[in-house]
Amino acid sequence: MKLWDKGTDTDKKIESFTIGKDRELDLFLAPFDIMGTMAHSIMLGEVGLLEKEDVKVLMPELKRLYKNALDGDFVIEEGVEDVHSQVEMQLTRKLGDVGKKVHSGRSRNDQVLLDLKLFARDGIMKVTSAVEDLFSVLQQRSEVHKNDLLPGYTHLQVAMPSSFGLWFGAYAESLVDDLYFLQAAWRIVNQNPLGAAAGYGNSFPLDRSLTTRLLGFDDLSYNVVYAQMGRGKMERSVAMALSSIASTLSRLAMDACLYMSQNFGFLKLPDAFTTGSSIMPHKKNPDVFELLRARCNKLIDVPNQIALIIGNLPSGYFRDMQVTKEVFIPAFEDILSCIDLMTTAVSKMEISKNIMDDERYKFAFSVEEVNRRVLAGMTFRDAYKQVGMEIEKGEFSPDTANVHHTHEGSIGNLCNEQIKKKMKNAIALFDFDRVQNSVNKLVT
């Protein structure tokens, strides 16, 4: 079944090529397509394009289909082009001519725009919740290990004293900035495109503000041409935010790979989280972090792939946009699995104690000694030269017992509570509860 079928047969090879992976990927969009049809049908009833009785028989059937989609029982049948065709076909089978009325005032163009925005909105809510879980674990580890020192590095050279508290806490605060980025994407996503039709509106007296309220959107994409131009732009914006999270995870995974090596020996994972070698019986490889790094780096490339697909398109709809689904839809499952695995791995890390007692790290305390002499009355430059000369002559003997940092965000003052407050405020700005209440009211 094709919504555009006018009785002309399509070459099977052309049909297969143009449908592509739509039937497979549209299963992810099914609940949202049905949700959009609910809101659209209610609106059609309000403006007189559907009889009130039509709406009354449509809603129970749409709710049944919606539950099937959530439960994984929704199927796009062989020969049916996409989710939009399948939903309309099932409504028509069950309700007759009433099912043929629900497409009034819509195009598959604004249907898929809506589906993708509702899908992305739901995905952002899930990703935010997962990020919050990882954030909590990182903060908990930061507090527990705030007094456990490890060397900090610049240029991969030993630099200054750091701590596991500082290290875990750094990645926690990085996630806050990632959510700021995701929040910007959310503002683009949470605008209603329904009613733009094929990108030029239509002559029906649609009430686009009503569907906006029913679906819990913050606002409309008002200009119908821009609503269509937003296809690809929205996906890229969201993908950029997901890639920011992926970048944080990738960097944490890289640190973990380094710190687990024998040359560092700062931390380890339980044996159940490592893999062995087929010929070296001593090996305990950090494959979990290596694969996290690779998968996250792959996610970092998603915005670029979308940009290349849509980059030279003029205004209006083009079939090129279909291909964005192939890289955009899987990105949510990929980032969620990476966040979940990282959360588990961080919670299971075993850190090494007394790392800084090792002689090789003694020069990390040189700045501490310079600062101690400055506080005793020497100028900074003279103290710097004096300590530098002692190091060159092999006469430097650091005081490792008195590392005293007090300013905000330092070893001795991690500011985890302040960072926690930043995260709480960032999440509150999404206003997920309002959106979820609107959706629940519509579908139940």
Rounded distance, CA 68 to CA 70, Å? 5
Asked if residue 262 belongs to a domain, the reply is yes
Average pLDDT of the segment spanning 30-50: 97
The CATH number linked to 202 is 1.20.200.10
Q: What is residue 149's three-state secondary structure? A: strand
Asked if residue 441 belongs to a domain, the reply is no
pTM for this structure? 0.92
Which of 12-26, 240-254, 258-272 is most confident?
A: 240-254
Length of the chain: 444
Average pLDDT of the segment spanning 217-230: 95
Residues 208 and 290 in one domain: yes
Residues 302 and 203 in one domain: yes
Amino acid identity of residue 43, one-letter, is M
CA neighbours within 13 Å on the CB side: how many for 242?
36
Residues 280 and 142 in one domain: yes
Tell whether the model's pLDDT for residue 310 goes beyond 80. yes
Asked if residue 116 belongs to a domain, the reply is yes
Asked if residue 132 belongs to a domain, the reply is yes
Residues 79 and 44 in one domain: yes
Q: Say what the pLDDT of residue 4 is.
A: 41
Residues 44 and 117 in one domain: no
Residues 68 and 186 in one domain: no
Asked if residue 398 belongs to a domain, the reply is no
pLDDT band at 112 (very low <50, low <70, confident <90, very high): very high
Average pLDDT of the segment spanning 104-131: 97
The CATH number linked to 29 is 1.10.275.10
Asked if residue 25 belongs to a domain, the reply is yes
pLDDT band at 14 (very low <50, low <70, confident <90, very high): low
State CA 232 to chain mean position distance.
17
Dig out the tokens for 299 from the structure.
């996610």
Q: What is the extent of the structural domain holding 59?
A: 12-100
Task: State pLDDT tens for residues 337-376.
Answer: 999 999 999 999 999 999 999 999 999 999 999 999 999 9
Asked if residue 231 belongs to a domain, the reply is yes
Q: Say what the pLDDT of residue 278 is.
A: 64
Residues 49 and 131 in one domain: no
Q: Say what the pLDDT of residue 320 is.
A: 86
Q: Say what the pLDDT of residue 400 is.
A: 79
Tell whether the model's pLDDT for residue 299 goes beyond 90. yes
Average pLDDT of the segment spanning 269-291: 76
Asked if residue 402 belongs to a domain, the reply is no
Rounded distance, CA 391 to CA 236, Å? 52
Provide the 8-state DSSP code for 323. G
Tell whether the model's pLDDT for residue 207 goes beyond 50. yes
Residues 311 and 370 in one domain: no
Amino acid identity of residue 141, one-letter, is R
Phi first, then psi, for residue 333 (nearest 5°) are: -60, -40
Residues 265 and 118 in one domain: yes
How many domains are there within the chain? 3
Residues 118 and 260 in one domain: yes
Residues 329 and 379 in one domain: no
Residues 207 and 312 in one domain: yes
Q: Say what the pLDDT of residue 73 is.
A: 93
Tell whether the model's pLDDT for residue 7 goes beyond 60. no
* Sequence-distant contacts of 251-257: CB under 8 A, at least 24 apart: 251/171, 251/174, 252/171, 252/342, 252/346, 253/289, 253/290, 253/292, 253/293, 253/296, 253/342, 254/289, 254/293, 255/167, 256/286, 256/289, 256/345, 256/349, 257/286, 257/289, 257/290, 257/293
